Amino acid sequence: MSDAPIPDDRGAAPELAGRHLVLGLSGGIACYKAADFARELVKSGATVQVVMTEAALQFVTPVTMQALSGRPVHTSQWDARPAANMAHIDLSREADAIVVAPASADFIAQLAQGRAGELLSLLCLARPRGEGRAVPLLLAPAMNREMWSHPATQRNVAQAVADGALLLGPGHGAQACGETGDGRMLEAAELRDAVVAFFQPKVLAGRRVLVTAGPTFEALDPVRGITNRSSGKMGFAIARAAAEAGAAVTLVAGPVHLPTPAGVRRIDVGSALQMHDAVLPLAPAHDVFVATAAVADWRPIAMAEEKIKKDGSGRVPAFEMTENPDILAAVARLPQAQRPYCVGFAAESHDVLRHAREKRIRKAVPLIVANHGPATFGRDDNTLVLVDARGELELPRADKLSLARALVAQIAQRL
């Protein structure tokens, strides 16, 4: 049987294909989430070696973790299976990263103090940290809110981070003790996405990226309005991909029901005017502006104060319309010192490339991303064509996050 990663239903390789991860479990009720997390990592193509502390054994069994990871679980520094009885050396040398989830307050304290009383803390201490072969350490804190906010824990966390660890979370919410606050371990899918993001090339590190996404809603009366079929999925994928690439991302979103990508600052707006008023003051502080939103071209001059009702006459009400401001063109007209690198989107219903070429010149932007609107609105996949002064580059059909990552890489090259 081949060990090659199994493509998903789109033919793409899993996001963590070829990665070998050590998943460490310290003591805490959040160990139940670690079981789901291990499954998510395996589904994403990673090989997972589980290491459990003695305290973790009180919450979930090695049998469970072995079944989910497909590998025998290590629990003791005296395990005779590895060569020369050196599990702490062998396990850490094989890993692309060590992820501790949950990372309890006690375990973080051990790391901060350089203690190595059992296998998991020992292999974290022994992991390579040199420039030639560094094994990253990712910690997903999980503890009661009072424990998390305690000065000692905060000192220990700061020391662990100063020593090279990366924090994944914690989250905020209901805790097993019945209290609510910070300290909750992130959910399995959130942790998986954080690990995937960690391995993405940081081609936009130090950059600031502004993205618009979704439709706008131009109100006719208090309950009706003009909008379009844009789901916002492409724009949200671009915001996520830019954040994965190391950028500080601001997302200005029209009325959509999508979760905010991790690490992204989100501003919700409704109408084209609101989006314009949100974007223009922000644009000069950003290096890149990606105008993915499907902004309405027109709006009613005035909104009716009450719902417009049928009167039985058969007459259709007439609405006087006016043109909305062109957000992309307005940003592209900023003085050069304030102007970000502008990327526009052209969602067309016909003659896609011709309209995209004309739009790029008309709006005076360096890059337009063209696609067939009716074929992509609401879907999870797409086909994009990048149009610039040199010609066209097609990004073949793929899921929108893969396309977003490819687009981010192209933008980084042009910067």
- Going along the chain from its start, the domains and CATH numbers come out as 20-199 (3.40.50.1950), 208-300+321-414 (3.40.50.10300)
Question: What DSSP letter does each residue of 105-156 carry, written as one string?
Answer: HHHHHHHHHT--SSHHHHHHHHS-BSSSSB--EEEEE---HHHHHSHHHHHH
Give the integer Cα–Cα distance in Å for 372 and 175: 46
Give residue 141's pLDDT: 97
Distances (CA, A) of 340 to 188, 280, 331, 359: 36, 11, 8, 18
**Could you tell me the end-to-end alpha-carbon distance of the chain, in angstroms, rounded to an integer?**
44
Give residue 76's pLDDT: 87
Give the integer Cα–Cα distance in Å for 140 and 57: 18
Give residue 305's pLDDT: 87
Question: What three-state secondary structure class fits 192?
Answer: helix
| Residue range 15-40, pLDDT digits in tens | 999 999 999 999 999 999 999 999 99
| Residue range 204-234, pLDDT digits in tens | 999 999 999 999 999 999 999 999 888 999 9
Q: Per-residue pLDDT for the chain (415 aa), expressed as one digit of tens each? A: 334 444 444 445 689 999 999 999 999 999 999 999 999 999 999 999 999 999 999 999 999 999 999 999 999 888 777 666 677 788 888 899 999 999 999 999 999 999 998 999 999 999 998 877 899 999 999 999 999 999 999 999 999 999 999 999 999 999 888 999 999 999 999 999 999 999 999 999 999 999 999 999 999 999 999 998 889 999 999 999 999 999 999 999 999 999 999 999 999 999 999 999 999 999 999 999 999 999 999 999 988 888 888 878 888 888 889 999 999 999 999 999 999 999 999 876 677 788 888 889 999 999 999 986 655 666 778 889 999 999 889 998 899 999 999 999 999 999 8
Of 89, 85, 56, the residue nearest 73 (C-alpha): 56
Give residue 7's pLDDT: 44
Q: Which one of the listed residues 31, 124, 177, 342 is annotated catalytic?
A: 177
Give residue 3's pLDDT: 42
Q: Is 177 a catalytic residue?
A: yes
What's the whole-model pTM score? Answer: 0.89
